[in-house]
Structure 1
Amino acid sequence: MRRALLDAAARVFARRGIEAASLDDVAADAGFTKGAVYSNFGSKDGLVAALVADRTSAYLDLGLEAVEDLDGSMGARARVLGDRLTDASDGQRDWHLLFFELWQRAVRSGDVDDVFRRHRDSLRVAVTAAIEDHVDRAGGSLPLPASELATVLMALANGLAVERMVAPDDVAPDLMGRVLALLVADGPVP
């Protein structure tokens, strides 16, 4: 039930916007009553917070799985990661719409969206740790500190996803992988 409600919330919030969508809309989309939403999440803010946590975790898992068993240079690993993230991203139109609404809320408001910021921070920390681990395993070096590269990776993934939604023919499916491979190809930037 919880999974169905989270998936319905992602669809409904992406279609209508978080503020315009009601808990009745989410419950109906999932095939439940509003009481099911309240019993699982307590409130709309609780549902939004759970959705952010769920999607952040899924994004992190996707990235880690994409390069878990890869061998080779940092460039080769980066290329595969970028290609797999693009493939997965293409099927996540609702998440990208929701992400940008959450981003706007976090930028414009206060306490309600602190959850979004905290999850973004924890995602950045986890991506940084994963980058450091892959650098150690590949025996390479990075052009930027891992934390800054994590920020670039997250921004690039979000930006290219949006561009592919607007003009899919203008953004090659392997662009992210190629850019990431270029970023890590030559080691540190002087």
Structure 2
Amino acid sequence: MSTVPPPPGEVRRRPPRDEVRRALLDAAARTFARQGIDAASLDDVAAAAGFTKGAVYSNFGSKEGLVAALVDDRVSAYLDVGLAAVADTDATLPERARMLGDRLTAATDEQHDWHLLFLELWQRAVRTGRTDGPFGERRRELHAAVAAAVAAHAEEAGAELPLPAGSLATLLLALSNGLAIERLVDPAAVPDDLMGRALALLVSGAVPADPADPAGPGGPDHR
């Protein structure tokens, strides 16, 4: 694995492979978000991480391999944020929705490049017609995971969802992305609590689940 040579007389330790991979993924997220995936070179990514291009090839094989790994990483990060936000299983469904919305809004501010990168990946997939590639595949996996989480939280809260869990997952992802974009452009137009209040309203029509209903919360369609 190649790294930038240290100054004369200085001995630099060889970083662990996981540390190198993490640094390259973080550098790729920043570089691709700001320059564009196709415009940025692997040399740009490697330099931003403090390595040479050989480190990228050693860990990801190619630029497309790096992009695919980055998509996986961002989807995992999104899920981690959501799971951490609604850890309080004693809260009502609207309260959980509000907590999730507030946490996603905070994540937008903490990780400014996150949604810039999402837009870059989205444009690239749509322009090339490769919606069945890594980005499209991981988005479908994310949607399924969010829908399953929505259904699970409704069941824990003893509530029947006003819409199928899959439909609520679509709305949640659309609100998350759309409001993040608006907040990046005009922060004052998107108050800190707007996302949370909107998500709480989406599930405010939830009613106590009928224990005799075999379909459970959300009806038969949890997709």
Structure 1: 5+ residue stretches without partners: none
Aligned partners of 2:182, 2:93: CA distance in 1, in Å? 26
Name the structure with the higher helix share. 1
Partner of 1:39: 58
Q: CA deviation at 1:70?
A: 3.4
CA contact (8 A) 2:68 2:135 kept: yes
Determine whether 1:6 maps to 2:25.
Answer: yes
1:184 aligns with 2:203: yes
Q: Does the residue aligned with 1:185 lie in a helix, a strand or coil? A: coil
In 2, Cα distance between equivalents of 1:89 and 1:111: 26
1 CA distance for matches of 2:153 and 2:131? 35
SS in 2 for 1:20: coil
Q: How many Å separate the matches in 2 of 1:110 and 1:45?
A: 16
CA contact (8 A) 2:89 2:157 kept: no
Kept in 1: contact 2:88–2:96 (CA 8 A): no
Partner residue, 2:111: 92
Structure 2 alignment gaps of length 5 or more = 1-19, 208-223
Q: CA RMSD in A?
A: 1.3
Query: Where does residue 75 of structure 2 map in the other structure?
Result: 56
Moved over 2 A (4+): 110-113
Check if 1:66 corresponds to 2:66: no
Q: Of the two, which has the highest radius of gyration?
A: 2
TM-score scaled by length of structure 2: 0.82
Q: 1:166: which partner in 2?
A: 185
Overall identity of the aligned pairs, in %: 68
Match of 1:156 in 2: 175
Q: Does 1:77 align with 2:96?
A: yes
Larger relative contact order (C-alpha < 8 A, sep ≥ 6)?
1
* Residues 8-35 of structure 1: CA deviation (Å, up to 9, x unaligned): 0001111111011000000000000100
Residue 72 of structure 1 deviates from its aligned partner by 2.1
Whole-angstrom CA distance in 1 between matches of 2:184 and 2:141: 26
Q: 1:61, CA displacement in angstroms?
A: 1.1
